[in-house]
């Protein structure tokens, strides 16, 4: 008898890491549900997934809205009868001077990086608890363990992701559900490019090329991460990793995060 397809939900699937993870899941024969507030990017990802013959669902919505996170999980379950994998990839970060921090940026950052992620994890965890199986992978960041005064909201939000990963892993362990996280290094995503350009301006650096080269030089492997490399790490945890690994943070940062 043919094994049923694994059912996955990827947030922030409209581009970057989320799109690559979704495509890799499709290549592995999974059904893939895609969520993002960027409807145009989401449809482009859906076309790529469909071209691989994978069944897919799209949820073009802002996950910070009341009920959106739980409603997305409910939508997947209504269509496919369950959920085997959740990849919490959706995220937001912006540079803001420490002495000019604003409540609006903190609210926006925590809403998507922490609150939406927690609600998705809880909703998906409840489904997986009933199934007595499932895997959740959260995307964290080396920033969660660094002192970044001009990126404080983002760093704090990712520290919260680390905490949620540990807490939910313990809550779900008795039911055979695994929860882990991946901490990517510097990737050439739109958010990374915007963040570094803003940081350069804040520091009065006009030669962006040199500024970026200096930052890349901090990585022990001497280069930036390919998006596909980080996506492969997510896929390993979501699909291939042994079933005894949970509550772990897997660094895919080229040695930038060494603990």
Q: Show which residues are catalytic.
A: 154
* Tokens coding 252: 């895919």
Choose among 174, 146, 185: nearest CA to 247. Answer: 174
Do residues 179 and 85 lie in contact, with contact meaning Cβ atoms separated by under 8 Å? Answer: no
Do residues 39 and 63 lie in contact, with contact meaning Cβ atoms separated by under 8 Å? Answer: no
Cβ atoms within 10 Å of 210's Cβ, excluding its own: 11
Between CA 3 and CA 229 the distance in angstroms is: 27
Between CA 77 and CA 98 the distance in angstroms is: 42
Q: How far apart are the first and last CA of the chain?
A: 44
Cβ atoms within 10 Å of 142's Cβ, excluding its own: 21
């Amino acid at each position: 008898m043919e094994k049923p397809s694994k059912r996955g939900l990827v947030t922030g699937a409209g581009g970057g890491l989320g799109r690559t993870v979704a495509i890799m899941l499709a290549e592995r024969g999974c059904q893939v549900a895609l969520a993002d507030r960027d409807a145009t990017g989401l449809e482009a990802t859906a076309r790529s997934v469909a071209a691989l013959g994978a069944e897919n669902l799209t949820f073009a919505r802002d996950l910070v809205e009341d009920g959106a996170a739980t409603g997305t999980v409910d939508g997947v379950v209504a269509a496919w009868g369950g959920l085997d994998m959740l990849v919490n990839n959706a995220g937001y970060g912006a540079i803001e001077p420490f002495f000019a921090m604003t409540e609006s940026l903190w609210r926006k950052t925590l809403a998507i990086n922490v609150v939406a992620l927690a609600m998705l994890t809880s909703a998906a965890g409840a489904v997986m608890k009933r199934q007595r199986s499932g895997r959740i992978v959260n995307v964290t960041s080396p920033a969660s363990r660094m002192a970044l005064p001009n990126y404080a909201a983002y760093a704090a939000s990712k520290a919260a992701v680390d905490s949620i990963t540990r807490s939910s892993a313990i809550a779900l362990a008795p039911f055979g559900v695994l929860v882990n996280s991946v901490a990517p290094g510097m990737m050439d995503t739109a958010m990374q490019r915007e963040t570094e350009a803003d940081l350069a301006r804040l520091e009065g650096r006009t030669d962006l090329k040199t500024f970026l080269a200096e930052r890349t030089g901090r990585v022990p492997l001497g280069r930036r991460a390919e998006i596909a490399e980080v996506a492969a790490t997510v896929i390993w945890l979501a699909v291939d990793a042994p079933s005894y690994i949970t509550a772990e943070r897997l660094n895919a940062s080229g040695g930038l995060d060494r603990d």
